[in-house]
Amino acid sequence: MTRLLLAATVSLLAVTSAQAQVTQEDIANDATTTGDVVTNGMGQTLQRYSPLDTLNRDNVRNLVPAWAFSLGGEKQRGQETQPLVYDGIMYITGSYSRMYAIDIKTGQELWQYDARLPEGILPCCDVVNRGAAIYGDMVIFGTLDARLVALDRKTGDVIWNKEIADYRAGYSYTAAPLIVNGLVITGNSGGEFGIVGEVQARDVETGEIVWTRPTIEGNMGTLNGEPSTMTGTLNATWPGDMWKTGGGATWLGGSYDAETDTLIFGAGNPSPWNSHLRNAGTPTEGNAGDNLYAASRIGIDPATGEIKWHFQTTPREGWDYDGVNEVVAYTDREGNGRLATADRNGFFYILDRQDGHFLRATPFVQDISWASGIDDTGRPIYNEENRPGAPTAAAEGEKGETVFAVPSFLGGKNWMPMSFSQRTGNFYVPSNEWGMDIWNEPVTYREGAAYLGSGFTIKPIFEDHIGALKAIDPDTGEIKWEYHNDAPLWGGVMTTAGGLVFFGTPEGEFKALDDETGETLWSFQTGSGIVGQPITWEQDGEQYVTVVSGWGGAVPLWGGEVANRVNYLNQGGMVWTFRLPKELASAG
């Protein structure tokens, strides 16, 4: 661990902030309070909407830089974090499992924590970290060697450090933790290594496990240190012992809907990707070959870890369409409680908020090839000829038949979070238009080794754009407008009551669009591609906006022809904070 402490500043902060502690009430109210940001998603339902309207469509052109902070020159790569702001301090996680505390008035570093990462970590998709959680006097974040670390938020000293899983078996952790009723809730990463997805709940004060819930059927959950219930029914949808290495990683973390007292997590791809191998000897009629609960959204009781409901977006998944994308709880224009999720498979789903049952789905990207639609029950209507072929059926060698599938395995939408605007009632979804050549190969599980059974090459499908930020009416699925971008979009979106949509591009532009028309109203070049998540807050009567800039993530590592198309983009690592000066707030 390396800590760079500015002793006098930290000492002063410790005195002036002695009574300031983040409570469960602060966390529950984060979506409506404007002086801080204490949750990932700017609220537990992940709407990423701010009620602030000081900064609006008329004056956003007056937004100016307040300060910038460098994450250092040695450890760059993708910077996918969302900042947190509380009691005069901003907390930033960085690549390679680093944490920074920054004075929000000056941009001056207060302390830095660097995790001691061992040799042999196995991160799938860059050495990213997507953020932290705050509770009491602690700031809590996960590390690439699958550990969860609680730090004193004023000094950076370690309070507790716990193992989530064994990194040597392929586990890692990149998501922001979730705090619910005195528990810190985490998922896990590693779906490409034949791990088993799981949600864990720990006592936030001690880090000790309270319950665990695996996301692949046949695996046993625990409660208070004892076996509780099995996930699903053994071998109902998995053949033989394949459930023991079944994937379903919960790598994006989850949301919490207080209205229904439900944790909602996504479970990722089943392992291996080769659906023929996973279902060898298993009938596919009904749900026998669905490989539950991979590629699913799962509602969980936060007190016990019991599964309340599930919805599987891609049963018998064979394209790495995953199922982990965030689920956003919201109230529609008629006052109905709803859940929305934009899946990697290219469809935008609306579920009932109470029990997760399927209501409707519409495509949000073009030229989807693997399915012709979604039926009334929520199951895909497969185009089986677009499923990669089984290796045993290959005409020559061991490679199965190659198909060109849309979207690519990086998805119509990947991890990058969308936003719901309470002002317009629309969702603003960062998406990508691309396809892939994909084929299946033989594979055998070996601990700590990649367990795919597939090969692939991603390709653009349009000449003029890959990225497309889309305003979607959730009541109809209609795309109200879309903003095209040459490079893929890979960062988060934020909306505000001022009628603004903030997001960043891999070309380095941080942009504000009109939420009703998609018109660009303001743009700032940050110097490196943006794959982070913007926030806004109010300080001393002025509205501030922050985003972290730093190109990386899965696209340059896995993007095939697309990666070659954007190989000119520069890496970096900067925190950019902007303000609307009081004297310019009324100026159009």
Ligand-binding site membership of 383 (annotated): no
User: Do β-strands 209-214 and 220-223 pair in parallel, antiparallel, or remain unpaired?
Assistant: antiparallel
Instruction: Find the radius of gyration of the CA atoms of the chain.
Output: 22
User: What is the C-alpha to C-alpha distance for residues 557 and 489, in angstroms, rounded to an integer?
Assistant: 15
CA angle 225, 229, 232 (to 5 degrees): 140
Strand runs labelled E in 423-549 = 427-432, 434-440, 454-460, 467-472, 479-485, 494-496, 500-504, 509-514, 520-525, 535-539, 542-549
CA angle 121, 293, 554 (to 5 degrees): 40
User: What is the C-alpha to C-alpha distance for residues 200 and 212, in angstroms, rounded to an integer?
Assistant: 4
The one catalytic residue among 137, 320, 322, 515: 320
Ligand-binding site membership of 414 (annotated): yes
**Distance, first Cα to last Cα, the chain:** 48
SS3 label, residue 510: strand
Ligand-binding site membership of 396 (annotated): no
Ligand-binding site membership of 130 (annotated): yes
Ligand-binding site membership of 387 (annotated): no
HEC profile for 350-395? Answer: EEECCCCCEEEEEECCCCCCCEEEECCCCCEEECHHHCCCCHHHCC
Ligand-binding site membership of 192 (annotated): yes
For residue 501, the tally of other CB atoms under 10 A from its CB is 24
- What is the greatest pairwise CA distance in the chain? 74
Q: Are 347 and 358 in contact (CB under 8 A)?
A: no
Torsion of CA 364, 369, 373, 375, to 10 degrees: -130
- Tokens representing residue 269 in the block: 């791809």
Where b means 16+ CB within 10 Å and e means fewer, 145-172 reads: bbbbbbbbbbbbeebbebebbebebbbb
Distance of CA 40 to CAs 68, 299, 571, Å?
21, 19, 24
Confirm whether 26 is a catalytic residue.
no
List residues bridging with 261 in a β-sheet.
none
Task: Give residue for tokens 């919201």.
Answer: 330
Q: What is the DSSP letter of 75?
A: S
Q: Which residues are annotated as a binding site for pyrroloquinoline quinone?
A: 80, 130, 174, 414-415
Q: Which residues are annotated as a binding site?
A: 80, 130, 174, 192, 269, 320, 414-415
Catalytic residue numbers, as ranges: 320
Q: Which residues are annotated as a binding site for Ca(2+)?
A: 192, 269, 320
